[in-house]
Amino acid sequence: MDLVLLFDLHLPEMLSKYKYHIWLHITVLIFGLTGVLGKLITTDSYLLVWYRLGIALISVLVYFGITKFSLKVDKKELIRIMLVGVVIAVHWVTFFEAIKQSNVSVALVCFSSSTLFTALLEPLYFKRKIKAYELLFGVLIIVGLYFIFSFEFKFLVGMILSVVSAALASWFTVLNGVLVKKNKAKLISFYELLGAFILLSVYLMIVNKGDVTQLTVPVEDLKWLIILGTVCTAFAFIMSVEVMKKISPYTVSISINLEPIYSIVLALLIWPESETMSFGFYMGTIIIIATIFLNAVLKKRGSTS
């Protein structure tokens, strides 16, 4: 009884001390929910992403209005940021299409190959040598993908799309590393979303020949799209920026690596029949996830040495 009382007395203190860590994992879990929503939404990938961007932009604008955040930015920087938004648009479309062509588990694990692409792209933009362990981890990720490709060949199209999406995600992450040196993170995120939204709007209007009725979605999809745009995009974006003010980049990066694990667990709970995979898939998954964590640990040691 005394132990229970002691726990009750210290619980508020513990929650206060680790509240940013708790919010970080809630945010990562929300990011993990994105894949699940991608499977629940029946709308095609282009329209899905268009709605996600539109709802997210409205939500972020409301937040900026409440906090009186200025949207002023240099014109040259604005163009650069919005061009990165083009990369994000293609990344999201290929990501959701990968889920539709395979399933959540396969798409998320293959998407984890973004670590490999980041290791190759980052040295080019930041003018540093590729580290030996990054090359080794790149090989290990390829081995993990080989296991998955070998045992889940029926999902080949989805796997290829997911790897393409991972490459694009790595590219815009590295580009953001360059942009953030001159611009605020919130501004970058907002104008990237805007650039992506404009691109998809133009594309959809051309494809649909200006027929706006083609932009309608089933009512059942609308509720999931609102959750995707507000909670999984706008809220998660705002929270990820806030927690980074209090938590080290290392803790954030290693926590974000849990996203595919959260997604796979959620998918297994919701769709146990379609999401249960072969032994080879889980072998490949273990190799890829372990490599990602080892990469984060070695980068931490390198930054503190």
Question: Quick one: which of 90, 144, 137, 147 has its CA closest to 116?
Answer: 137
* CA atoms of 18 and 26, how far apart (whole Å): 12
Q: What are phi and psi of 42, to 5 degrees?
A: -85, -15
CB atoms within 10 A of CB 201: 14
Structure tokens at 257: 């690596």
DSSP symbol at 257: T
Query: Which residue matches tokens 């206060």?
Result: 16
% of the chain residues with pLDDT over 90: 35
pLDDT digits (tens, 9 = 90+) for 202-246: 999 999 988 888 899 999 999 999 999 999 988 887 887 677 667
DSSP string, 205-246: HHHTTT-GGGG---HHHHHHHHHHHIIIIIIHHHHHHHHTTT
Model confidence over 66-113: pLDDT tens digits? 999 999 998 999 999 999 999 999 999 999 999 999 888 888 888 888
* Burial of 251: CB neighbours in 10 Å, binned 0-12, 13-18, 19+: middle
Three-state DSSP at 72 gives coil
Q: What number is the average pLDDT over the span 279-287?
A: 82
Distance CA 176, CA 261 (A): 25
CA 40/CA 23 separation, integer angstroms: 25
Structure tokens at 187: 């501004």
